[in-house]
Structures are given as structure tokens and as C-alpha cells.
Amino acid sequence: MRSRALLGTIVLLAACGGRQSATLTATPAAGPADAIECTRTTLGKLKFQQVAFDVEGHRVVARKIDDKTSRPDPQFRRIIDRIEVQAAPAASGKTDLTVVAHTVAEYETHRGPTEVEENASAEATGAAQAVIQACGQP
């Protein structure tokens, strides 16, 4: 009986939890370090601000704040587009480049700033595609 309840909970969570981020992948000819350097340059040209960079793990996270969007909620502050990129050596000897685009709405609550993830915006998805086009070519 207990396993049925657990199984039901897992199925319910899987059905309710939709993926809100956009994930793109590529296999560039460049090595992981060169692919990440290309990514950093491309995101800078797109006016994204780098917030994290892991040299050894070949990861970078950048964000772009949209203060122009408004909503009729007094707690709403702004929209933040976030791009996460990881380059890793693949078993085939090439590089796997993974780009994930996120969009979050930031609210000011009694506990402080609170981020609520939304579907990836067109700007975040477009930036992810630009990274793949610029840095993910074989």
C-alpha cells in the first residue's frame, strides 16, 4: 500500500512539473576552454552580465535584467534572464556544449527578494541560440 502511495506521488509530481527552461546542445570542434571563452565573449556582446565563472569546470552563468517589463502586482520588481553554459569533454573526443536559458520574475516579499521561475523568454532563448551558433559549430 505504501509503495502505491509513493508511486502515485511521483506520477503526480512528474505530471505537474513542466520544464520551464530551454536547453540547447552542440558539439563544437574547439576544446572546452575555448568554447567557454567564446561563450563569455558572445554573452558580453549580447549585454549579459557574467555572475559566475568556473575555470576548471568550464562553466559560466550570466544574467540580463529587464527593468522595463511591468506587471499589475505591487510586489513585482523585474524580470531576469539567466543563461547557464557548460562545456565538457565528450567520450568521442569532441566537446559537449550545453546552454540552458532561464527566465525568473523577481518579487519583493516580506522575506526579501523572491525569484519565481517562468517559461524561458524569447530574449533568453534567442541568446542561447546565439551562443550555440557562435560557439557550437563543428
Is the Cβ–Cβ distance between 31 and 119 less than 8 Å? no
pLDDT in the model for residue 18:
55
Domains of the chain: 20-135 (3.30.310.80)
pLDDT in the model for residue 20:
85
Q: List, for residues 111-125, the tens digit of each pLDDT value.
A: 999 999 999 999 999
Is the Cβ–Cβ distance between 80 and 67 less than 8 Å? no
Q: List, for residues 21-71, the tens digit of each pLDDT value.
A: 899 999 998 899 999 999 999 999 999 999 999 999 999 999 999 989 889
User: Alpha helix locations (H) across the chain?
Assistant: 2-16, 32-45, 122-135
CB contact set of 65 (below 8 Å; sequence gap of 6+): 49, 78, 79, 80
Helices 122-135/32-45 angle, 10° precision: 140
pLDDT in the model for residue 19:
63
Residue 93 banded pLDDT, cuts 50, 70, 90: confident
- Which one is predicted more confidently, 95 or 9? 95
- What pTM does this model have? 0.82
